[in-house]
Chain A
Amino acid sequence: MNRDALHLHQVSLAIEGRTLFAPLDLVIESGECVTLMGPSGCGKSTLLDFIAGTLDPVFTASGTVSIGEAPLDGLAPEHRRVGILFQDDLLFPHLSVGGNLAFALPAQVHGRAARQTRIESALAEAELSGFAQRDPATLSGGQRARVALMRTLLAEPRALLLDEPFNRLDAQLRGDFRAFVISHARERGLPILLVTHDEADAAAVGGRVIRLA
């Protein structure tokens, strides 16, 4: 269970000398979901890149990000333990559903049996029991989205970034998956930062809404 908050201190992004938004101060508590909205091109997704450590070098960034007491600045993306979900589920097509989850599961979970147990219970949580051997390409959009979330969570992140992950799903699935993501992330006490341009998403998750101009 994570207890640490995600801190953004005076974060600002610029491209070719043009500042995208005013310096941003934000604390997202453990289990809290903050929604970030704004017109396209305002830098919402770029801010997520900055937090995840994958900022395109054409941008310049200032300010600091930390989780709890630990600053993330200068850390390689793979050492930040920041989980991210995109619009596309990006399941790896050469691995089975179980293989995708096993890839994310830390090696510290040792031994074939122990690993399989963890993967099975993750699948059960996603209501996909018995799907381990399946080819991801044979799953429905909603099923794939749930596998993508479980994959992210199995890597034991300390914060969760959501880059419009609900956009691809139709209205019915969308609500279900949104609730699924938020409840699982809250259960683990993760600070959540959701980027969306859909007011319904913001309303559904509740919590604070920040609008970038």
Chain B
Amino acid sequence: MGTALHEVEHAAGQADPTRAPQRGVFVWAPAITVAVFLVPIAAGLLGTLAPAFGYLPAIGGTEWTLAPWRALFAYPGFSTSLTLTLVTAALATLGSVVIALGACAYLQGSAWARRVGAFIAPLLAMPHAALAIGFAFMILPSGWIARIISPWLTAWVVPPDVLTVGHPSGLPIVGSLLMKEVPYLLLMTLGALNQVPAREHTRIAQSLGYGRVVAWFKIVLPQVYPQIRLPVYAVLSFSLSVVDVALILGPNNPPTLAVLAVRWFADPDTTRYFLGAAAALLLFLLVGTAVGLWLVVESLLARLGRGWIEGGRRNSVTLPVAASASATLAGLFALAAATIAGLIVWSFAQTWRFPAALPQGLSFTNWEHQATSLLGPALTTLAVGLASTLIALVLTLACLEHEAHLSARRSARARGAQVLWLIYLPLLVPQVAFLFGTQVLLVRLGFDATLAAVIWAHLIFVLPYMFLSLADPWRAFDTRYTRTALALGSSPWRVLLRVKLPILLRPLLIGCAVAFAVSVGQYLPTLFAGSGRVATLTTEAVTLSGGADRRVIGTWALTQAALPWVGYLLAALVPAILFVRRRALRP
């Protein structure tokens, strides 16, 4: 019987050798995968929309009304909060786009460009909260920077009485966002650059009398921009709606709009939920407007750019801009490295009196004291991260295998472009705009505050990253390997497990590392789906950042950062060890 089945499969394999092995097995995958994140987002948005207009029967809102909006606009700090939100998001987004693109233009083809991957990996893996906490440790009046330059330069023997963290300008938020978003956009741009003949086109432009940098902006950028457009929108949306970073580094009264919304959602006075819902919906509209505005500016620049490109001018201001962008990038990397070093030093510090540049001694005392409290949340973080990564991996592989099966009939790339917007949706819709509605749904289902609910909430954000990491390598896979293996008589499953997955092991593990890091970093989904009762390293670190001893916070933030680092390290080491004697499978 088994042999007969095998022969049938084998015969089918020969009849249509271009199709992927699991013919029909994964038909369900795209629908399920999309449902996993689309249903909670859609339901969540509706569940936020209704209370924003006064309707939430469970807490007595039975009438549709504009009262929540009137209350929101009448809130004393509203306009300050709105300005703060818009300014920080604009600075962070524009800053990261200019720095990332300028640096790509300036460093193209240099030895730096080849090494930049090693610099950005630890930053990409690091949770926003851990980096923001480390950044706070740097810039506080009693922070590392002040300690290093005191007292010999500043004559400070006590910390100066100035406001850095929590400054009403929100600039610390911008700084912390830049350290995370620039590497992200760099990664996306470098990936897109691999898909156009950037080097050859630059050489042609050089032979026509253009410098490398201006050639990059006139010839390469217009070709890669369509591929980094969605990541840029994701950065824009994230900067407008980020909560944990704004909680750690932003002003308190009033905070950014997203923090206000979360604060009202967490208020013991449930009537505040209406206010929170209005604020969350406003944030959703702001993101929509901002993306729309960006689109308009994009097409305007594209039109003006045409004249600029075809005007024939060989020199341009792009060179100094790109050079300064690269210098800023170097500065950001240095700052990030110091931030990470600072976290490490604080977590091992014994006594560290101001203005000493270093603690009096290092020891494991902090870690010993924190070990028991760290363990529980660390295990929860690990469990949620591994579970959501694994589910996302299975769903993504099923989708991609299904697509490979279909691609004999339709171009995979065209299909990919069609669904890309959908995949980016969880990264484009502000979290706070739908998580409250999702929580209401979970409460109604009696499912909130469970580990499963938290895993599901994480999955919404883990899935897109897993899919984006795996889609390109999967689509680029040379199907002749599959066909060869089938022709040798292997069953489709065997071909998948013994041929395709091993060849694609490296991107597969990188996808898992990215997904796991995304899960570890999630603050708001954990808070909402867990109803504040599921403690992870992230939720605890953010809570502690409000006032605990820096040595204590240091251990928490460092543990939070360490988990994704280990993930990345494994993703790099495992294939390197397995394939130590397989040159074609080494990077």
Chain A residues engaging chain B, CB cutoff 8 angstroms: 52-54, 76-84, 86, 88, 90, 92-95, 98-99, 102-109, 115, 151-152, 155, 157
Interface centre among A53, A92, A99 (most CB of B within 10 A): A92
B309 and A78 contacting across the interface, CB-CB below 8 Å:
no
Contact of B209 among A81, A88, A93, A98 (CB under 8 A): A81
Contact of A151 among B208, B309, B311 (CB under 8 A): B208
- Chain A's closest residue to B200 (CB) is A90
A84 and B309 contacting across the interface, CB-CB below 8 Å:
no
A90 and B209 contacting across the interface, CB-CB below 8 Å:
no
B556 at the interface (CB under 8 A from A): no
Which of chain B's residues have a CB closer than 8 A to the CB of A53?
206
A107 and B312 contacting across the interface, CB-CB below 8 Å:
yes
Chain B contacts with A in 200-229, Cβ cutoff 8 A: 200-201, 203-212, 215, 218-219, 222-223
A56 to B: closest C-beta gap in Å: 10
B312 and A115 contacting across the interface, CB-CB below 8 Å:
yes
Interface centre among B208, B218, B219, B314 (most CB of A within 10 A): B208
B429 to A: closest C-beta gap in Å: 30
Map CB proximity to A onto B321-356 as digits: 1 under 8 Å, 0 otherwise.
000000000000000000000000000000000000
Contact of A77 among B203, B223, B306 (CB under 8 A): B203
Which of chain B's residues have a CB closer than 8 A to the CB of A94?
219, 222-223
How distant is the Cα of A54 from the Cα of B219 in the complex, in angstroms?
A: 18
B208 and A95 contacting across the interface, CB-CB below 8 Å:
no
Contact of A103 among B197, B203, B223, B310 (CB under 8 A): B310
- A sample of 19 inter-chain contacts (CB < 8 A) reads A78-B211, A81-B209, A88-B200, A90-B200, A90-B201, A95-B306, A95-B310, A102-B310, A102-B312, A103-B309, A103-B312, A104-B208, A106-B312, A107-B312, A108-B312, A109-B312, A115-B310, A152-B207, A155-B207
B203 and A54 contacting across the interface, CB-CB below 8 Å:
yes
B208 and A155 contacting across the interface, CB-CB below 8 Å:
yes
How distant is the Cα of A83 from the Cα of B208 in the complex, in angstroms?
A: 7
Which of chain A's residues have a CB closer than 8 A to the CB of B209?
78-79, 81, 106, 155
Q: A92-B201, A102-B310 are in contact. Are A76 and B211 (CB under 8 A)?
A: yes
How distant is the Cα of A184 from the Cα of B208 in the complex, in angstroms?
A: 17
How distant is the Cα of A115 from the Cα of B212 in the complex, in angstroms?
A: 24
A155 to B: closest C-beta gap in Å: 4
B210 and A78 contacting across the interface, CB-CB below 8 Å:
yes
Which of chain B's residues have a CB closer than 8 A to the CB of A109?
312
- Chain A's closest residue to B196 (CB) is A93
A107 and B223 contacting across the interface, CB-CB below 8 Å:
no
Contact of B314 among A84, A102, A107 (CB under 8 A): A107
Which of chain B's residues have a CB closer than 8 A to the CB of A93?
223
How distant is the Cα of A102 from the Cα of B208 in the complex, in angstroms?
A: 11
Contact of A99 among B201, B211, B310, B314 (CB under 8 A): B310
A-B pairs with the 6 shortest C-beta distances?
A102-B310, A77-B206, A107-B312, A155-B208, A94-B222, A107-B313
- A102-B311, A103-B205, A152-B207 known; 18 new pairs, CB 8 Å cut-off, are A76-B206, A78-B208, A78-B212, A82-B207, A84-B204, A92-B223, A95-B306, A95-B310, A102-B309, A103-B219, A105-B312, A106-B314, A107-B313, A107-B314, A108-B312, A155-B207, A155-B208, A155-B209
Interface centre among B205, B207, B211, B223 (most CB of A within 10 A): B207
Chain B contacts with A in 206-261, Cβ cutoff 8 A: 206-212, 215, 218-219, 222-223
How distant is the Cα of A76 from the Cα of B319 in the complex, in angstroms?
A: 14
Which of chain A's residues have a CB closer than 8 A to the CB of B211?
76, 78
Contact of B207 among A52, A92, A115 (CB under 8 A): A52
Map CB proximity to A onto B150-181 as digits: 1 under 8 Å, 0 otherwise.
00000000000000000000000000000000
B208 and A86 contacting across the interface, CB-CB below 8 Å:
no
A78 and B312 contacting across the interface, CB-CB below 8 Å:
no
